Amino acid sequence: MTLESHKEKILVVDDEASIRRILETRLSMIGYTVVTAADGEEALTTFRHEQPDLVVLDVMMPKLDGYGVCQELRKESDVPIIMLTALGDVADRITGLELGADDYVVKPFSPKELEARIRSVLRRIEKTTTSGIPSSGVIQIGNIRIDTNKRQVYKGDERIRLTGMEFMLLELLVGRSGEPFSRGEILEQVWGYTPERHVDTRVVDVHISRLRAKLEEDPSNPELILTARGTGYLFQRIIEPGEMLNKAQ
């Protein structure tokens, strides 16, 4: 969908009134519907009432901090979350990602940078990749079933909840199974990062770790999502049924 056909709703959560005002004004001007919350508890209430398409979430807030809000949201929703983190505090960024955030922007931030991240996350989650994916859109690897049309993943009969960015990452790796991707290439393909932000490789590492925890039988000894030494990551090569038949003959 485009902004013309659907006004995406964004929830901005920050205890600083000036930041809420600036973001509400700017995001409204470029076509989004904006709702705001001043603390963590209000954020959860507003989220459940408004059902936004994306959440911009500050870390340091009264009543319930951004980490707590992120944890609660991930129990009930796959909504994209962009965290606002303190300048230079790497621990803030990693903790937010580990709890389920899709991306982060460092404070103090340029509103233009945040607007770009919002557009990128929403656009990429709606985008589908077809390279290497069968026409049925369904891939079965062992007890893992990936349905790229419905954007759903099953482990046996259990549906595995993935965020939009986690699914995009999995789809990218599966679409070119057996091929290694560098972290920079993944950042560009999935997050839309420019080369200047390719230093933020922990974004990839944390998302890979989250995917392994959800999909692998033993995340510490992965068999699906492999590490390409000195390069990045790859999905184990998927052998087509016809290919197996040829080998048997």
Tens-digit pLDDT profile for residues 117-151: 999 888 876 655 445 566 667 888 888 999 888 88
Tell me the angle at which helices 202-215 and 90-98 cross, rounded to the nearest 10 degrees.
30
Cα–Cα distance list, 163 to 53, 113, 169, 198, 221 (Å): 12, 22, 10, 22, 23
Strands 9-13 and 81-85, by their bridges, are unpaired
pLDDT of residue 1: 39
- Residue ranges covered by each domain of the chain: 9-127, 138-235
Residue 191: pLDDT over 80: yes
| pLDDT tens digits for range 79-124 | 999 999 876 677 778 888 999 999 999 888 888 989 989 998 888 7
| pLDDT tens digits for range 205-248 | 999 999 999 999 999 999 999 999 888 999 998 765 444 334 43
Q: Chain-centre distance of CA 97, in angstroms?
A: 9
> Which of these, 151, 170, 159, 155, lies nearest to 210 by C-alpha position?
170
Residue 200: pLDDT over 80: no
Distance CA 247, CA 83 (A): 49
pLDDT of residue 9: 96
Distance CA 44, CA 64 (A): 10
Strands (DSSP E) along 45-143, which ranges?
54-58, 81-85, 103-106, 138-141
Q: Are 118 and 56 in contact (CB under 8 A)?
A: yes
pLDDT of residue 199: 66
Averaged pLDDT, 6-24:
93
| pLDDT tens digits for range 25-69 | 999 999 999 999 999 999 999 999 999 999 999 999 989 999 999
pLDDT of residue 202: 86
pTM of the model: 0.83
Instruction: Confirm whether 9-127 and 138-235 share one CATH topology.
Output: no
CATH number of 138-235: 1.10.10.10
Q: Which of 15-24, 32-41, 91-100, 165-174 has the lowest mean pLDDT?
A: 91-100
Residue 169: pLDDT over 90: yes
DSSP state at residue 244: H
For 61-70, b where at least 16 C-beta lie within 10 A, e where not — what string?
A: beebbbbbbb
* pLDDT grade for 249, boundaries at 50, 70 and 90: very low
CATH number of 9-127: 3.40.50.2300
